[in-house]
Homo-oligomer: A and B are copies of this chain.
Amino acid sequence: MTTLIHPACADASIEKNWPKGIKKTRQRLEIFKVLSSSSVPLSASDIFRQLTIGNPNETYAFSTVYRSLQTFEDCGIVAKTIFSTEDNALYELKSGKHRHFAICLKCHKKFALNGCPIIDTRHMLGSDMSDFVITGHQLEIYGYCKDCKSE
């Protein structure tokens, strides 16, 4: 269990994006790396699997994954989402611009969409809801992907 210069530490984006005030542990660095290398949101099990596969001689606990993700979320660098097609939470690094996904109802694969439709969300709130403060929104598009639509 080496604590020398860990490969993950060499990554410039980690140095730059690491939240202030939280310890840089081997586990958190690895989880961050897994997240940053994925183009779609991952479940805790996805992450755990990648950790153990990628580092067969290290040990990881599921609770560490959950706690690290929670910490990252509290720091504002990770977004937790529950899609309607899954029954568990998925996590992704927050990038500057938020994204939406098209999700296949059969294979559950997710496809990042081009940007975000300019929705006049204000307009949707009735006059009786003029005091609701909008901070964000989530949009998911459902359907069938290329591989599943023919079946």
Contact = CB atoms under 8 A, between A and B. Distances in A.
Most buried by B among A121, A126, A133: A133
A113 B104 CA distance: 26
A80 B84 CA distance: 8
B134 A141 contact: yes
A144 B125 CA distance: 13
Interface residues of A, number: 43
28 contacts: A82-B84, A87-B89, A102-B125, A102-B129, A102-B132, A104-B132, A111-B125, A111-B129, A113-B124, A113-B125, A117-B117, A117-B119, A117-B121, A117-B124, A119-B119, A124-B141, A131-B149, A132-B143, A132-B144, A132-B146, A132-B149, A133-B143, A134-B143, A135-B144, A136-B142, A136-B143, A137-B139, A138-B140
